[in-house]
Amino acid sequence: MPKYPSWPTTDQGNIVGGRLANEMYHRFTGGLNALSNADQKDAALAELLATTGDVFNVKSFGAKGDGATDDSTAIQAAHDALPSFGGIIFCPPGNYLIKSTLALSKRIRFSGAGRSILTSTAALTRIIKASTLNGAGIKVTGSNDSNGSVLEGFVLDGESGNGGDGIAVENNRTEVANVTVQNQGRDGIRIGADTATNVNLWSIQNCRVSSNGRHGLNIDDPSGVPDVNGGTVVHLDSIWNAGDGVRIGKAVINSFFGVTVQVNTGAGIRLTANAVANRFFGGDWDEGNVGGDLVVEAGAADNAIIFPLLTAYTDAGTRTIVFLAGKDLPVINRQTFDRVLRANLEVNSTTPSVAKEGSFWESSNTQSTLITDFPDGFNGQRIAVRLDVKTGIANDSAKIRLRDGITIPAETRFANDIISFVRLSNVWFEEHRNWTLTEVGVSLDLDHALITGGFRQTLDGWFQDDVAAGQTAVVLTKDDGATFTAKWIAIRAGSITGINIKSNAARSAGTLTAEAYKNGSATGLTAVLDDDPTTFAASTQTKDTDSFVAGDELDIRITTDGSWAPTTADIRAALEVET
């Protein structure tokens, strides 16, 4: 194999793991050029990389990192100098202005020195997309040679007026990790090729996409072939984007874990037509997304949403399975199938049949009807029932056991209330309901499932509109669905485990503190809005830190300093308790 006459034995330049191969490359450019065969050049570079274990430093190829010089040519040169099988490119700390797209067609690890998720100026490595660049900032092209590339450890920022996507992934097995993409003219990160090319087995880990001109993360194959599949997202924060936080287009069988979507102008998560068999696990979507927390459009099919925190969603898709951990839509085993799973229960029947195929039912009674049993169910069966205004459910320890032991009278509920049951030992046991039960002036929120040792409950409904500055421990009003009050009265012993507060407008100045009170005394458990801009704050504590007994009164009070703004903000607050 051809070799250079000798290799340097002392460290050179910016060191990452040893002697830098790019320094060696420049020392021995003449030696490389003397090799007329391209394969010989690749072999020589391969030996260099294998011998030293080093990287190509973009500054050794002329990059300045001063935020003013166009470094795109230098960075591209570092990429192009790698052998055809690829290698490692390192961008040391600096601000690298690029005026043309960085086209990565080799299998490389493109590494920065680190990023900041708070401010781009605090990043160690910051790549700045020029205002004149209307294409992607970084594109992993659809060549088999680029399969398995990794982008990591930098901020990709954009000057005002730039166009196109931040990072465009158009090939298989590309990984984007510990990267922030912001202020891009179009999508922050786009997964999908412009031609009918598979984009499979990609991954995004611990990334942030913010303040982009369209979507934060857009997963779509615009070629018309739904071939973006087998991808994984772990810990993505998508915030302040002009479109959707995460948009799933022509894509199938992708998995998402712990995605947070906040204050996006479109939907938090949007599943469009041809989004098939995608899976979401956990995540926080209840964060001020203007177009809704979750939107499932017609044509989307077989998607699953498992235990996210969200407030409202719309579902026009088919066979969507949703298990919610949110406050206002506690639907258990909700399924929207093409067949008869949403068939009505028998009209005006006190013992409706649930023997037909299905798990989600809707009552349709024309006169006052009290359901006393679902007589033909089987043990282990789970059902959810959407009640109409004429329908109630009788508590009977031998047939239907309601959680509080109190019959739900007919003609006392709002339309579309949902209650779910599981059948055990030939008795239906209530699992969940999505409304606040009012008993003799006492409000008990039963909006969370039964857990070991008791109920975990979210006590919500506290509010204040047009929050003024200079308030001190002002008691919030509570809307329990029937009356307005200020206090929640415990009917059994338990403890306060959390508090949260949400504003419909981002804080711009000052501090707002919400504090839990018990029997008129502060508990010390607070949630504070003091970070600009923010609309949500929450705090938790261990069980039994603040205990209460039956008859104790809980409320929430807020304090604002004199500079609090905006005074047009409307706030909502809630307590988490275990009983």
For residue 501, give the CATH number of its domain: 2.60.120
Q: Is residue 248 part of a domain?
A: no
Task: Characterize 343-376 residue by residue with b for buried, 16 or more Cβ atoms within 10 angstroms of its Cβ, and e for exposed.
Answer: bebeeeeeebebeeebbbbbbbbeeebbbbbbee
Identify the residue with better confidence: 56 or 85: 56
* Joined tokens for residue 575: 């307590």
401 and 464 share a domain?
no
Strand partners, 500: 538, 574
Last residue of a domain, one of 382, 409, 434: 434
Confidence of residue 353 (pLDDT cuts 50, 70, 90): confident
Residue 452 or residue 274, greater confidence: 274
At residue 412 the predicted structure's pLDDT band, cuts being 50, 70 and 90, is low
The pLDDT confidence band at residue 366, using thresholds 50, 70 and 90, is confident
Q: pLDDT above 70 covers what percent of the chain?
A: 76
- Look at residue 306 in the predicted model and tell me its pLDDT: 84
Both 523 and 410 in one domain: the answer is: no
Q: Are 563 and 546 found together in one domain? A: yes
Whether residues 459 and 564 fall in one domain: yes
Q: In the prediction, which pLDDT does 385 show? A: 85
Higher-confidence residue of 417 and 145: namely: 417
Which has the closest alpha carbon to 305: 56, 23, 314, 69?
314
Q: How many domains does the chain have?
A: 2
Kind plus residue range of the DSSP H or E element containing 127? strand 125-129
**Residue type (1 letter), 524:** G
Contact 528, 512 (CB under 8 A): yes
- 407 and 450 both lie in a single domain: no
- Tell how far CA 444 is from the center of its chain: 30
Give the span between the Cα atoms of 306 and 257, in whole angstroms. 10
**3-state SS assignment for residue 342:** coil
Look at residue 17 and tell me if it is in a domain: no
Q: Is residue 485 part of a domain?
A: yes
Same-domain status, 448 and 559: yes
My answer on whether 489 and 387 are in the same domain is no
d(CA 147, CA 149): 6
Q: Is the pLDDT of residue 59 over 80?
A: yes
Residue 35 lies in a domain: no
Residue 105, domain member (yes or no):
no
Q: How confident is the model at residue 390 (pLDDT cuts 50, 70, 90)?
A: confident
564 and 462 within one domain? yes
Long-range Cβ contact pairs of 361-369 (< 8 A, separation 24 or more): 361/385, 361/386, 362/386, 362/388, 363/387, 363/388, 363/390, 363/391, 364/388, 365/390, 365/391, 366/390, 368/392, 368/410, 368/411, 369/410
- Cα–Cα distances in angstroms (integers) from residue 489 to residues 17, 63, 541, 543, in the given order: 63, 66, 21, 19
Q: What is the pLDDT of residue 421?
A: 86
Q: What is the mean pLDDT of residues 451-474?
A: 76
Does 511 lie in the same domain as 454? yes
The pLDDT score that the predictor gives to residue 301 is 85
- Kindly state whether residues 477 and 403 are assigned to the same domain: no
Bond prior to 83 in cis (omega within 30° of 0): no
Sign of the dihedral through C-alpha 46, 52, 54, 57? negative
What type of residue is 361? W
Decide which of 376, 410, 434 is a domain's last residue. 434
**Mean of all residue pLDDT scores within the chain:** 79
Q: Which domain holds residue 489?
A: 442-578
Least confident of 146-155, 244-253, 348-357: 348-357
Question: Is residue 65 pLDDT above 70, yes or no?
Answer: yes
Has residue 471 been placed in a domain? yes
- Integer Cα distance of 155 and 358 in angstroms: 49
Same domain, 428 and 375: yes
Is 88 a member of any domain? no
Rg (CA), the chain: 29
The Cα 439–Cα 456 span in angstroms is: 19
pLDDT band at residue 330, thresholds of 50, 70 and 90? very low
State which of 57-71, 218-232, 273-287, 526-540 shows the largest mean pLDDT: 57-71
Answer whether residue 167 is part of any domain: no
Q: How far apart are CA 553 and CA 393, in angstroms?
A: 30
One domain, residues 458 and 389: no
Q: Could you tell me which residues are beta bridge partners of residue 371?
A: 393
Domain boundary among 434, 467, 488: 434
Average pLDDT over every residue of 1-6: 34
- Quickly state the pLDDT bin for 182 (edges 50, 70, 90): very high
Nearest CA to 213 among 190, 242, 171, 170? Answer: 242
On the question of pLDDT at 286 being above 60, the answer is: yes
